[in-house]
Amino acid sequence: MPAVTRRQFVSRSALAVTGASVGPRLAAATQPDPAELQARPPLIISTWPFGKPANDAALAVLLRGGSGLDAVEQGIRVTESDPDNASVGLGGIPNADGVVQLDACIMSGPGHRAGSVAAVSGFRHPISIARRVMETTRHVMLVGEGAEAFAAEAGFERGPRVSPKQKAAWQRWKKEQAAQAKAAGKHPNHDTIALLVLRADGAVFGGCSTSGWGYKIPGRVGDSPILGSGLYVDDEVGAAGATGVGENVMRHCGSFLVVELMRQGLHPQEACLEAIRRMARKDPLGFNLSVNFIALDRQGRFGAAGTGTGFQYAVTCESFSRVLQSPGLTSADIGPVGGNRK
């Protein structure tokens, strides 16, 4: 099955904002000056070009008086509802047994509340189930059959365990792959939607949703529903989200690290870059980690970064809605890798 090519896109969109500090040179820049990356809230950022419609929906919720959590949930539901998105929702690539297992989490800066679900099959909107876990239980995370039973009792919308398109692709994969492909080998590319919201009053919210690694071992859970890995929100500082190879993000608590670097005073974009540098220096994979981050702070500053050539992310406020290219990091940017030490 061919790899998703979103990572190869190059953003060519201009960004002109009234009342924000974004300069016209950003149109052609792949690594803009961080001082340009700021806008007046409400502000929404998300991973990948497919995040832009989600951002637009989230902003519409805020502008009609909805809450920050409403904005996160409704924005991510747009992506979860896209049958052509092979990375998020029931249109996603199934696991090795041909079943789509979905992961999601949501977090509120006010009250430092969170909810999460993992390895959920047969329900359309894991982000909504995660919010219900947060708001109606004493728990933070439900997984597998327990999460599905919770969703069924709450009356959440059901859906197929795999879409017809992805089932056909899975059947082809089964014929092409040897038995060891369940545990290792080449897999289709995959992405995640992480979506961060800065409300006009400075409150911060975030969510994350994915169908995970294509043809993964059943029950595998990546970083997306893990607080501090795929998503972290701190109302005193800001928020960060991740996309890429979840195992590599999880081992370093990547999104938490980005937020803590912002707490120390780094601009969100520099915090994303420094987090990747720090991860790569201690990891045997070095700059081959295949991880990407987005971040925003309470001041309305935002940014993103990734390994390799970087990746595209979506940014939306009342004055604009654009897809931008993030800077990337290579071995030359990272320096000596210490992960091979015993």
pLDDT of residue 74 exceeding 80, the answer is yes
Q: DSSP string covering 199-251, please?
A: -TTS-EEEEEEE--STTPPTT---STTSBTTTEEEETTTEEEEEEE-HHHHHT
Instruction: Please state which of the ranges 43-57, 163-177, 241-255 shows the lowest mean pLDDT.
Output: 163-177
In a domain, 46, yes or no: yes
**Interatomic CA distance for residues 188 and 194, integer angstroms:** 20
In a domain, 5, yes or no: no
Cβ pair 292, 307 in contact under 8 A: yes
Dihedral angle sign, alpha carbons of residues 166, 171, 175, 177: positive
Burial, 288: exposed, middle or buried (Cβ in 10 Å; 0-12, 13-18, 19+)?
middle
pLDDT of residue 338 exceeding 50, the answer is yes
Q: Report the CATH number at residue 174.
A: 3.60.20.30
**Interatomic CA distance for residues 230 and 51, integer angstroms:** 16
pLDDT on residue 336: 66
pLDDT on residue 157: 82
pLDDT level of residue 253 (50, 70, 90 thresholds): very high
Q: Domain count of the chain?
A: 1
pLDDT of residue 19 exceeding 60, the answer is no
pLDDT on residue 16: 31
pLDDT of residue 24 exceeding 50, the answer is no
pLDDT level of residue 159 (50, 70, 90 thresholds): confident
Q: Per residue in 287-324, pLDDT tens?
A: 789 999 999 999 999 999 999 999 999 999 999 999 99
pLDDT on residue 191: 81
pLDDT on residue 237: 98
Q: Per residue in 229-242, pLDDT tens?
A: 999 999 999 999 99
What token pair was written down for 230? 């795929």
In a domain, 24, yes or no: no
Q: Which residue has the tokens 């001041």?
A: 299
In a domain, 70, yes or no: yes
Enumerate the active-site residues. Answer: 192
In a domain, 144, yes or no: yes
CA-based nearest residue to 325, from 282, 288, 283, 294: 294
Range of the domain at 301: 38-334
Q: Per residue in 125-150, pLDDT tens?
A: 999 999 999 999 999 999 999 999 99
The angle that helices 68-80 and 51-63 make with each other, rounded to 10 degrees, is 150
In a domain, 159, yes or no: yes
Residue predicted with more confidence, 186 or 86: 86
Burial, 64: exposed, middle or buried (Cβ in 10 Å; 0-12, 13-18, 19+)?
exposed
CA angle 216, 208, 16 (to 5 degrees): 125
pLDDT on residue 160: 67
pLDDT of residue 13 exceeding 80, the answer is no
pLDDT on residue 57: 98
CA-based nearest residue to 238, from 30, 41, 87, 63: 41
pLDDT of residue 103 exceeding 90, the answer is yes
Cβ pair 52, 41 in contact under 8 A: no
Mean pLDDT of the residues in the chain: 85
For the stretch 28-31, contacts whose Cβ atoms lie closer than 8 Å and that sit 24 or more positions apart, written own/partner, are 30/310, 30/325, 30/327, 31/310, 31/327
296: helix, strand or coil? strand
Q: Per residue in 168-219, pLDDT tens?
A: 775 666 666 644 444 444 445 568 999 999 999 999 999 999 999 988 999 9
Residue predicted with more confidence, 7 or 325: 325
CA angle 120, 123, 129 (to 5 degrees): 75
In a domain, 191, yes or no: yes
pLDDT on residue 288: 87
In a domain, 212, yes or no: yes
